[in-house]
Structure 1
Amino acid sequence: MMGSETSGPKGKKPPADMPLNVKDSCYGPVSGAAGLSNGEEASETTPLLPSEPVYAWRPLDQQELRAAAGGPGWRKIRQSLVLLFWISWVSLLAVALTIVVMSPRPVPTCLKWWQKCLFYRLRAEPDVGTEAERSEVINAACKRLPHLRSVGIGAVILEEVFHKKPPVENATTPSENLEALAQIQHLLTECKELDLRVVLDLCNVNLSELQEETGNSNHSAAEKHALRFWLEQGVAGFVICDTDAVYSVETLLEWRGVLDEFSPYHNERILVVKQTTDVLHPLNVSTYGNITLINVVMRAVLPKSRHLLSAAEVAEALETRVQLKREAAWPSWSVEGEASQDLQQILLVLVMTLPGSPAFQSQETTEQTQDERTHRSAVTLFTTLSRSKNREEALLYGNFTFLSFNTSSNASSPLVLAFLRSWGCVHFLVLLNLGPEPHPLDSAWTQSLPEKGMFVASTGMNRLGMTSLYSMTLQPHEAVVIKLFQAGSYA
C-alpha cells in the first residue's frame, strides 16, 4: 500500500483540485460578515442580515430649521394657509354684507321740499284802511322774515292778499291793485333773498272775474293767465279751499298743466287745499291716469270757535280730528280755534310732532310774548322741535299710533293724550297733559314700551337728560317729547 492517503466515503478520493484544508479555502471566514469586525469569526448564532439602526429623537437646531423652512414643501404649506385665510375672510365679509342687504328695513322715500318745511301763514290784511296802513303792514311782515327763517320756517303762505281778485299785468288795472302788486313783489323779493318760498292763498277768490280787466271772455284762459303771471313772479304754489268752484277734476287738471310748466327738477310748484268741511270731498282721477292734482291738504286740529276752548273741548277735538288716513296728498296741520294760554304751547308740540308739514299763524311763532324769559323759552322750544323734525327720520317718515293712557290716580283720563312715532328701531313718545292736575305714568301702561328715554323737548324746556317712564310724572298743562331707548342701546 502506497503512503497513507485518506480515502473518502466508500473509498472514493476527493477531487485533486479541492483543498483539504477548508480553513484556508474561499469558504473560510469572510471579513466583516454579518456585521462583525475584522478578525471575528461568524458563529451559528450571528444573524445573517444586520438590524436597522436605532435613532434617538432630538429637536432641530437653528440651521436645520432654516434649511427645512426654505424647502419647497413648507413654501406650499404656507401659501395654502395664506390663501385659505383670505378665502375665509372674504367669505365672512360676503355673508355679513348679504345679511345686511337682505335684512328687512324701512326704506324712506325722497321727500319733496313741501314735505320737509314748516309753513307760516302771513295775513296781509288788505282791509286795514288806507294804502299807507296796508304798506306799513307789508313792511312789518318783511321785518319779521329773518326771525322766521332763523327758527326754521321754510315757506310763507300769503293770506287775504286781494280784495276780490289778484292784480294782473295789464294797463287797465286799477291803481289800488297796482300798489298792492308792488307791495307783494317787494315781499317776494325779500323772501327770495332769505331762501323762503311763497305760496299765494286764493281761497274765495274768483279768478274768472279777471275777464273784465283782461278783456278775455274765456274764463279758463283768464285763470291760466293769472296763474302764469304769479308763477313768473316767483310764487311756489297756490292755496284753494275745498268749497271753491275751482275744486274740481276738470279745473285742477288745467291748473296742474300750468304748474308743471314752471316746475323745474326738485322745485315743483304745489297746490294746497284748505279743508274747511268735516269731510274732504275726494277727487276721482283714476280715469286720467297717475296724476297728482293736490299736493298738500291743510287741516285744522281745532275747530273755529267764538270762545276759548276748554281743556276737555280741546281733548275731544284732538281725538276726533287727528285721524290719519292713507291719502295721496301730504297732510298739513294748523290751529284754527283759539285755546287758553296754557294750552297754546301744548298745541305747538302736537302740530310739530304730527305726520306732515305744520302751518303756523303769527301768534304761534313766539313773536309776541309777555316777558323776555317766556319769549326765550318759547323760541327755544320752537327751534328745538323744528330741528328735531328736520333731522329725525322717525318724525319725518314715522308711523303714528295713538296710545290709550292710564294713570294710577285715574284709570281713564281724557285730558291726557299720548301717541308714538316709530321708524325702524327709533321711537318717539309724545305725552300731552291738558288738565290742571299732575299725572304719573302707570307702570302697567308703560310696560310695552322701553323703560328709558331722553327728553327732546318740553313745554317749559326744563326737562333735560335721561328719564325712566316708571318714575315720570306729567306736570299740569305740560307736553313732552321723549326719544325712547331699547335695552342696551345708547343711540
Structure 2
Amino acid sequence: MEHPEETDTLTDRMPLDAGDTGYGSVVGPGLSGGVGGSEAAPLLIPEPEPAVRWRPLSKAELEAVAGGPWWRRLRSYLVVLFWMAWLAMLATSIAIIVTSPRPVATPLRWWQKSLFHQLQPNMEAERSEGINALCEQLPYFKSLGIGALILEGLFHKEPSPLNVTASGGSLGTLPQIQHLLAESNKAGLKVVLDFCKLDLYAAGNKPTNLSAPVENSLQFWLEQGVAGFAICDTDAAYSEKILLEWRGLFREFSTQEEEERIVVVKQTQDFLPSLRNTTLVDVVMRSILPTSPQPLSAQEVANAIETHLLTREQETWPSWTIGGEGPRELKKLLLVLMMTLPGSPTIQYDEDIDQTQNASLNIGSSHGQKNEPSDTHADKEKARRAAVALFTSLSSSRAREEALLYGSFTFLPFNTSTNSFSSSSSNSTLASPSSPTTLAFLRSWGCVHFLVLLNLGPEIHALDPAWAPSLPEAGVFVSSTGMDRLGSISLSTLELQPHEAIVIKLFESGSYS
C-alpha cells in the first residue's frame, strides 16, 4: 500500500510542460525531437581523434626493420637483379664487338709512317754555308712532321762516286756529310743517300756480284748512321742478285725495327721493271706529273692525276712526288693530293716552307729554281704563312688518322655525261662535259671516311646530291688549299672554288668517330 506522502513527492518531481514528447523523451542539442529520433541520438558525443602525422623512422626502428627477413629478401633480390643486368649488358657489348665488322690494323714500318723531304745541298767548298744552314733547319723540318731526308747530289760521278775514304773528287765533303748525319740523328730525322744515275759499277754493265769497293762504301755509310739508299730503276744496281746481297749487308745494321735500312727505287719509266722477289725493294718513288719541257696545262695535269688514280700498283709501298711542273695555281692542290694518296709523300724543296727565307742558301731541288715574278715582302710573308699552315694541317692529319695512313682507297669518278658536277654561279662558264677537271677519291677506315675533292678547272662547281648517294651527307672540314674552310659541312651545299682542293672527314649516321 502506497503512502500518500511518497505519491506527492514523485508528482512534484515530474515536469509540468513535458508536452507531446512522451515519457522519457530527451531532445539532445542540435537534434530534432520526436519519437523516432530519440533512440538514434547518441547519448555521448565522441571527441575528434587527433590527425596522424608522418615521421621518419628512428635509428632504432630502422635497424629493427632492416634486420627483418622481408628486408633481407628484398636486398638479396636487388643485388641479384643488378648483377644480372650488368652481365646482360656486358654480354650484349661483347656480342656487338665480335659480330661487328672491323678493319685490321696493319703494322707500319718507319718509312711507311714517314714524310720524306728531298733536298740537294751543294757541298762545294766555296759555298759550304749551305750545309750549315741546312743543319740549322733540321729541328724546323721535324716540327713540320718530316721524318726522313733524301739527299741528292752529294757525290761526283767521276772518278768514283762511293770511294770517299780515299783521295777523290768528293773527299773534301766527307766531314760535312758526317756532320749533317750527326745533326740529323740528334733531330730525330733519318737520312737516305741518293745514288740514282751514279755508275756504281764499271761502265754500267750488269754485275754478277757485289764488288768489294761498293760493299766497303755501303758498309761505311751504314756505320755512319745512314737509313738507306735510293737508286733508279735504270741503274745496274737494280737487279735481284745485287739487291739480295745488299739485303744481306743491311741485316747486320737492322737489329731493331726503327733502325731497319731500306732501298728506295725511283721510277723513271712508265712501268717499273718487275722483280721476282718484290721484298728486295721497300719504297718505289713515283712522280704524279710527267716531265715536260714546258709547264703542263690544267687539263694535262688532270689527265695525269686520273691515270695514276686508276692504275695504282699494290705490290710495293709507293712514295709520291710531284715530278713534273704544273701551273702555279695548282701548286697547293698537288700538295693536298700527294699528302692524301696511299703511301709516303716525298716533298721537294719549297721556298714557301723554308724557315730562313735566305736566298743565299745553296739548297735547291733537283729540277732547279724557276724565274718567278717579284712580289712585295708582305705578300711573300702572307703566302709563306699560308703554305706552312696548309702543310702543317695535312702533315698532322696524316700522322694521327688511320684512314690517311693505311685506309682503303676508292676512286670516285664523276658521271660527267649527266653533269654530276654543275655550276653554282651564274658568272662562271660551264666546262665541257668531257673535261675531267674535277676528281675525287675516298680514304676509309672503319666508319671514318675522308673525302678528297679536287677542282683543277677555273670554274666554281657544286656537288650534285645524286653524285654519290652512298656517302654520308655530313662532315667536317679538315683542310683546304685556301685554309678558309672551317666547321661542319653538308655535301648538298658544298661548292668548290677554282683550283681548290678540299679534305672532308665524313661521319656516318650516329657515329662520332
TM-score, normalized by length of structure 1?
A: 0.78
Contact kept, 8 Å, 2:200 with 2:214, in 1: the verdict is: yes
Q: 1:270: Cα distance to partner?
A: 1.0
Aligned pair 1:415/2:406, yes or no?
no
Contact kept, 8 Å, 1:460 with 1:478, in 2: the verdict is: yes
Q: 1:324: Cα distance to partner?
A: 5.5
- Output aligned runs, 1:45-444, within 5 Å: 70=67, 75=72, 78-79=75-76, 81-125=78-122, 131-133=125-127, 135-164=128-157, 165-168=160-163, 170=165, 172-174=166-168, 176-208=169-201, 219-267=210-258, 268-285=260-277, 292-323=279-310, 325=312, 327-363=314-350, 366-367=353-354, 370=375, 371-405=380-414, 406-409=420-423, 411-444=433-466
How large is the Cα RMSD of the aligned pairs? 2.7
**Alpha-carbon distance in 2 for matches of 1:145, 1:64:** 78
Q: 1:65 and 1:197, CA in 2 relative to 1: closer, same or farther beyond 3 A?
A: closer
**Alpha-carbon distance in 2 for matches of 1:257, 1:266:** 16
Structure with greater contact order relative to length (CA < 8 Å, sep ≥ 6): 2
Q: 1:77: Cα distance to partner?
A: 6.2
| Residue identity matched to 1:89 | W
| Residue identity matched to 1:233 | Q
Q: Which consecutive unaligned segments of at least 5 residues does structure 1 have?
A: 1-61, 211-216, 286-290
Q: 1:276: Cα distance to partner?
A: 0.7
Query: Secondary structure of the equivalent of 1:461?
Result: coil
Contact kept, 8 Å, 2:438 with 2:457, in 1: the verdict is: yes
Q: 1:94 and 1:230, CA in 2 relative to 1: closer, same or farther beyond 3 A?
A: same
Query: Secondary structure of the equivalent of 1:132?
Result: helix
| Residue identity matched to 1:221 | A
Q: Which consecutive unaligned segments of at least 5 residues does structure 2 have?
A: 1-56, 358-371, 415-419, 424-430
Query: Secondary structure of the equivalent of 1:299?
Result: strand
Task: After superposition, give the CA deviation of every residue in 1:400-451 in whole Å (9 maximum; x if it has no partner).
Answer: 1111232124555411111111111111111111111111111221433222
- 1:464 maps to 486
Q: 1:113 and 1:65, CA in 2 relative to 1: closer, same or farther beyond 3 A?
A: closer
Contact kept, 8 Å, 2:164 with 2:174, in 1: the verdict is: no
**Alpha-carbon distance in 1 for matches of 2:479, 2:399:** 14
TM-score, normalized by length of structure 2?
A: 0.75
Max radius of gyration: which structure?
A: 1
Task: After superposition, give the CA deviation of every residue in 1:48-100 in whole Å (9 maximum; x if it has no partner).
Answer: xxxxxxxxxxxxxx999987864557645643552353244224313322431
**Alpha-carbon distance in 2 for matches of 1:95, 1:487:** 21
Q: 1:357 and 1:65, CA in 2 relative to 1: closer, same or farther beyond 3 A?
A: closer
Q: 1:91 and 1:179, CA in 2 relative to 1: closer, same or farther beyond 3 A?
A: same
Name which of structure 1's ranges 342-351 and 198-207 shifts more when overlaid on structure 2. Answer: 198-207
Q: 1:71 and 1:246, CA in 2 relative to 1: closer, same or farther beyond 3 A?
A: same
Contact kept, 8 Å, 2:288 with 2:308, in 1: the verdict is: yes
Identity %: 57
Name which of structure 1's ranges 78-87 and 446-455 shifts more when overlaid on structure 2. Answer: 78-87
| Residue identity matched to 1:228 | Q
- 2:417 maps to none
| Residue identity matched to 1:94 | A
Contact kept, 8 Å, 1:242 with 1:276, in 2: the verdict is: yes
Q: 1:293 and 1:73, CA in 2 relative to 1: closer, same or farther beyond 3 A?
A: same
| Residue identity matched to 1:329 | T
How many residue pairs get matched?
414
Task: After superposition, give the CA deviation of every residue in 1:188-208 in whole Å (9 maximum; x if it has no partner).
Answer: 122122111100111122334
